[in-house]
Structure 1
Amino acid sequence: MILGRKMVVAQLWEYMVPGQAKPPRRVLCSQEESFTITLPNGKTKRRSAQQRALYLVGLLNQAVADYKKELAEKPKQSCPNISEAFNGWLDQIAATRSAATARTYRRTREKYLAINGDHPLADYSHLQATRFLGSLAEMGLAPRSINKEATQLQAFLSWCFAAGLVLVPARPVPKLRITQREAKVYSLEQALAIDALLVQAVEASRADSDYRQRLALSHLRAWRLLRFTGFRASEVVTLKLSAIRLADGYILLQDNLEMGMEVKGRVEARVPIAQGLLDFLTKDLAARSVGENYYLDRGNGRPLYSSADALSKALLPYKRAAGVDPRIKVLHGLRGGVATWLSQAGAELSTVQKILRHKDLSTTRQYVNADMLDTQAALDKLPKDKI
């Protein structure tokens, strides 16, 4: 059983056909439905751990019974056309992924059929993939966009093999080689300028309603945490106050399944608290109201923002007011900024990798803007000749 960000999905391993890469999957319910019970009066009640386990086992047994029925009723068919296979794949995507992801994959289907036409799935070859990508280039798509389409086509072909629609996996879809561009990140001066605007907003909100004051203070809280840690925006939105261990000097990053957030790599992380952030958090936590549960809280124990996008939109006006390059992403640009500032301060790239919690060093390298590094200061550190 897989506990995804939004859905609970069952993997039917006992019905896996030899040669398939993955077992059949069936969506059992949403994460929210697995945690709550709807009472006859329309109100909801949280399930206990035992109730949730029994509920999911019941859904799993029903899914197995339904799958057996499907196998018994399924007529033996010849290999379908690729349009039919695309439709089956998109149905599964729509049930397990977000609506935005489903729309993106649907556009890939439309582009492929417009270029190669409909044909039996068994007739697919490397030639169709080459024609598909070549036509996208002629249409003026950027190399990164073409590679994204190639990745989605590869995901579809892998699904066809896993679903038993083809007996042999297709060759990997080729991708274009892209020259790495310098990361678009905040300079330290820009980050501090936005910080100053946020402080001004907090001061100005003191004459407004409690909600306006809480909103302005939450913006400052989010920016300070991002600026001192390099956290991902989703980690800030879902962070609970209980995870901030001031006495121990670290913040514990954990899964928050209620909000559909899993720690990247699915490994809990203890992130050290910088001295500047420690001073801010000490004062901030001491002034918190009773009943607050989240770092960005509504004041009643519920999260103020439901997603990273919502927080990004809230902070966008401050970025514009500071005159920052519009190509810099509101929140992710700050994560790259932390990587660059640490490198400017002389930190080894492996140390930056550990702070940002990247699996590969090559990923960390993409976050550092080399144009902002002081090459002269680095050269001056070389040993001098003794004359």
Structure 2
Amino acid sequence: MARPDRHIENFLEMLSAERGLAQNSLLAYRTDLADFAGFLTAEGESVERIGIAALRRYVQGLADAGLKPATAARRLSALRQFFRFLAREGLRSDDPAALLDAPKRARALPKLLSEEEVDRLLQAARELREDPAEAARLTALLELLYATGLRVSELVSLRWPPFGDDPRFLVIRGKGGKERLVPLSEPARQAVEAYAGFRTDFLQPKRTSPWLFPSRGESGHLTRQRFGQLLKDLAIQARIPPAKVSPHVLRHAFASHLLARGADLRAVQKMLGHADISTTQIYTHVLEARKQALVRQHHPLARA
């Protein structure tokens, strides 16, 4: 009987080689499957022999432990993919995880910032007069994020120099190595050019860097965690509750504000880098609110 962690490592290697998953995604799979491996050990089971009854006990245990529905659903997804891999590799003749029921969960609406709140964040960044370099960097980060809707991992790992042949666009390499073209607003481009004069302030003396937002840390560029902390500090200065602000919330603001002003859902999908439009449809609540406003403003019976 092989140890489950050996099969898990082989599965993770497949995800990395065949699907090109990012390190954060691989870490999530590793964490979820390590929890399952602990269950196998406690039950005296093996991945080669475990049946549907024991798997259902494991899933029920997730619910009994008070796990959030989203976390439980993620663990079930990892489990299904893992057993599909085992069957494909001939390590099992069946796939018991295919019979598991998914936990029900409501799809939460994204947290949102108003246009006025985004303006306050930008103004707070510009007013960091005691540190002009940090002010320029934060302004560039915010302008870029709000203008493009980039994932935070895509934003902090932008290459230097950022612009190609056409400065009106950024070429972004997203999930799975897929490239997409994202239009760049003039304020965002100007903010990046203003920051470029301070970029070397964030480098070790006489060092170079391939990143737009370099740092002296191990990664070589500003980390997502550090940017998140800077945003929280900025929110306090802008008199916005820090819990309301994160890089992902600004990505939501980009999509929601575009749709509220009449942008096409398909165009927003492409700019966000969503593979499936169903992912983008979480923002349709904005479209519904806009339709209702249009009816109130323009329908003759509504006016009456």
Short-chain TM bin = 0.7 to 0.9
Report what 2:154 is aligned to: 235
- In the aligned structure 2, how far is the partner of 1:122 from the partner of 1:292? 48
Q: 1:371/1:364 Cα in 2 relative to 1: closer, same or farther (>3 Å)?
A: closer
Deviations 1:168-213 (A, max 9, x none): 3334132123222211122222221111111111x2214xxxxxx3
Task: Map 1:234-273 to 2 at 5 A.
Answer: 234-245=153-164, 247-254=166-173, 263-273=174-184
Q: 1:311/1:365 Cα in 2 relative to 1: closer, same or farther (>3 Å)?
A: same
Report what 2:37 is aligned to: 109
Do the aligned residues in 2 keep the contact of 1:246 with 1:278 (CA within 8 Å)? no
Higher helix share: 2
Report what 1:87 is aligned to: 5
Report what 2:251 is aligned to: 335
Question: Does residue 1:192 correspond to 2:119, yes or no?
Answer: yes
What is the identity, as a one-letter code, of the residue corresponding to 1:229? T
What is the identity, as a one-letter code, of the residue corresponding to 2:157? T
Task: Map 1:1-387 to 2 at 5 A.
Answer: 80=1, 84-92=2-10, 100-101=27-28, 102-111=30-39, 113-114=41-42, 117-172=43-98, 173-201=100-128, 203-206=129-132, 213=133, 215-245=134-164, 247-254=166-173, 263-285=174-196, 293-298=210-215, 303-305=220-222, 307-328=223-244, 330-367=246-283, 370=286, 373-374=289-290, 376-380=292-296, 383-384=299-300
- In the aligned structure 1, how far is the partner of 2:165 from the partner of 2:185? 11
Q: Displacement, 1:231?
A: 1.0
Do the aligned residues in 2 keep the contact of 1:250 with 1:272 (CA within 8 Å)? yes
- In the aligned structure 1, how far is the partner of 2:175 from the partner of 2:62? 32
Q: Displacement, 1:223?
A: 1.1
Q: Identity of paired residues, percent?
A: 19
Which segment is superposed worse, 325-334 or 217-226?
A: 325-334
Instruction: Please give the secondary structure, in 1, of the residue aligned with 2:253.
Output: helix
- In the aligned structure 1, how far is the partner of 2:284 from the partner of 2:242? 18
Deviations 1:215-234 (A, max 9, x none): 34222211111011111112
What's the TM-score once normalised by structure 2's chain length? 0.77
What's the TM-score once normalised by structure 1's chain length? 0.62
- In the aligned structure 1, how far is the partner of 2:287 from the partner of 2:183? 28
Number of equivalences: 284
- In the aligned structure 2, how far is the partner of 1:373 from the partner of 1:119? 52
Q: 1:354/1:165 Cα in 2 relative to 1: closer, same or farther (>3 Å)?
A: closer
What is the identity, as a one-letter code, of the residue corresponding to 2:79? L
Q: Displacement, 1:332?
A: 0.8
What is the identity, as a one-letter code, of the residue corresponding to 1:185? L
Q: Displacement, 1:338?
A: 0.5
- In the aligned structure 1, how far is the partner of 2:152 from the partner of 2:124? 20
- In the aligned structure 1, how far is the partner of 2:77 from the partner of 2:166? 46
Deviations 1:114-168 (A, max 9, x none): 4xx1235454222222222223222322221221221232233233324432123
- In the aligned structure 1, how far is the partner of 2:112 from the partner of 2:154? 19
Query: Which has the larger Rg?
Result: 1
Q: 1:342/1:94 Cα in 2 relative to 1: closer, same or farther (>3 Å)?
A: closer
What is the identity, as a one-letter code, of the residue corresponding to 1:158? R
What is the identity, as a one-letter code, of the residue corresponding to 1:198? A
Q: 1:351/1:124 Cα in 2 relative to 1: closer, same or farther (>3 Å)?
A: same
- In the aligned structure 2, how far is the partner of 1:265 from the partner of 1:384? 50
Aligned-residue CA RMSD in angstroms?
3.5
Q: Displacement, 1:93?
A: 6.6
Work out which structure has the larger RCO, using CA pairs closer than 8 Å and 6 or more positions apart in sequence: 2
Which segment is superposed worse, 175-184 or 134-143?
A: 134-143
What is the identity, as a one-letter code, of the residue corresponding to 1:295? L
Q: Displacement, 1:240?
A: 1.9
Q: 1:200/1:136 Cα in 2 relative to 1: closer, same or farther (>3 Å)?
A: same
The runs of 5 or more residues in structure 2 that have no matched partner are 17-22, 201-205
What is the identity, as a one-letter code, of the residue corresponding to 1:168? D
Instruction: Please give the secondary structure, in 2, of the residue aligned with 1:244.
Output: coil
